[in-house]
Structure 1
Amino acid sequence: MATTTDQAVRHLLDEGRARARRLGPDQVRLWDALARSAEGGKRFRPALVVAAHDALGGTRQEAAAATGAAIELLHTALVVHDDVIDGDDVRRGRLNVSGTFRAGAREAGADAGGADALALAAGILAGDLALATAVRAVATCGAPRDVTERLLDLLDAALHTTAAGELADVTLSLGLGAASMAESLGAAERKTSAYSFALPLQAGAVLADADEDTVERLGEAGRVLGIGFQLVDDLLGVFGDPARTGKSTTSDLRDAKQTPLLVHARSTSQWARLEPYVGRDLAADDLAEARALLTASGSRAFVEALAARHHASAVRTVEELDLPVDVLGPLLTSFGLDEAAA
């Protein structure tokens, strides 16, 4: 019986905990906090690997499941590091790695500075552990050597691209200048599309021994799909329900992130009224007013339409390859705001 992606993810986490136990209780505590961060979500990244592999007639089901689990753990690593960068203690409605260690330190009597230092260290170290485990999982997925080397090349390229996107995202938030729409979309493409969409689709194709043109075109489909997904995620970051998404609806505005939503709003007549709500903590009434202004300005509708166009472009590319549209995954067939962020 073939290993499911959930089983493959659980196997990676269990193996990591077994290694941690040999090193001592502090290592177990760090790994367990990381494992909790990997819980939940829709697992669409490993689903994309398996879907692409199967649609292209691949026969390496175990290797596809293992590679999908590795990419899911890569996602966990990047999320843990992203929370450190953003200074967030909560993810999916519960304490993340940094939040867990910060709370534990305060309960033990540490002062705020000491708790902050431990939270920062724990987030960085846990993310590093997840990254190393993800790379190891790809390297030992069981595929032939040339296929594994190609997978590692794809993983390396995705990591470099994602790091550049994360740095661009933070740089744009410095407020040193107004970002253009192209700059904002470019940051989204590099930060999200590379590892969450292009990498899984291309990995599945490589595991199925697809030709290079197919691998490249699936990467393009993933790129535009990922931009669309990030656009919806940006909308959820303001208009979503935190109880469903596990995502704050004030942090993007508080951090003045130059998402396409705000970049577009800056070009409208509503910006003068909206600007005072950007760059600070917002109470419920403030958030309601900011939402109303983003809607009245047409910025919400603009981003929704832009996301839909990117989704449609990805679908066209897949159809041109004579692959079923569901290779893009069940989560991605609709880009409505009723979907929770992964």
Structure 2
Amino acid sequence: QDLMKFWQSLFEQSQRTQFGWVIALMQDWRDGKIQTIEQLRSYLMTTEDNLQPQPPPTSAPTVLQTDDTFPQIVENIETQDTELLPIQLVSLENAGKSDVGSQRDHNEDSFGIQTQIENQETPTEKIIQAKGLYVLCDGMGGHASGEIASQVAVDTIKQYFKVESSWSVGLPSEEIIREAIIQANEVIYEINQQEVRSGSSRMGTTLVMAMVYDTKVAVAHVGDSRLYRLSRQGGLEQITLDHEVGQREINRGVEPEIAYGRPDAYQLTQALGPRDKNFVRPDVQFFDLDEDSLLILASDGLTDNDFLENNWKNLLEPLLGKQANLESGVNQLIDLANQYNGHDNITAIVIRALVKPQKGVAEY
């Protein structure tokens, strides 16, 4: 429907007399005879077969007069609407919370958020230019001073990108993101070395981070803290894969039941701090926001026992609505997680990014 409306707008703006088949196409659409992509594809292909060669134009044709645009439209009909209408960000909000859990006496999780949002308004629309840095760390369970390690990692990443100018006009490169994480590792590692910590007394932390620049997103992680994406079309998607023994074995081709049947299946294969930079290999990914989305950063206290997979429909999907209160939603999320997974600290950051197609006519 959006594609047909767009074509109608183009034809109305044209200065030329329309072909009869164009008029018929528009009339069939208004009469409800063309309602699906397949019906439109069939109509265009039939029309192409029936068209007779036209006399050469007396003047140079406009873009709309070039008949060879229509086979291309037929070929790309499924994605034409999004290609013609680039996406722009209209809202970027966030809420974060950390809870000690019902069975712990101290909280080893930490998180940090830095955002810069510039509103731009015209008489006809309101848009924003925004960038945000979101970091969540979980101090390693069973390790002394895990809360120190997680806070040091958050502070180091925030400070790195506070002075780093590489993302003043876009997201930083994969190399720069890795460099920031390695720097956080080295700060914690040096503390361990200076205090001559060994074995389980060496402090460490997981890390998951997201960087948003308008409709572009970068995600990086070390350990088993996760990032999920939620959208109406895609549902809940786990973007990161845990750095733990069980997942490592699956990556090697082992069946999941066997991989997670090992007694050490949930042991981390990497974390920040215990070892030097040669043992830290952050995963970094990039993707675009092409529809309204939530990004959820979570410690394992929230994700254990498939809590999000089993409860996202009721707890998270309503937060896609622009009127929904994110802070209340995150509070409710953590309260219920405490009933399921209160054995550990629970931390979540929820980012809501709302988008829309840009106004104006796109070029072919």
Name the TM-score class by shorter chain: under 0.3
Q: Which has the higher helix share?
A: 1
Max Rg structure = 2
Larger relative CO (CA 8 A, sep 6+): 1 or 2?
2
Q: Which has the higher strand share?
A: 2
Query: TM-score, with normalisation over the residues of structure 1?
Result: 0.27
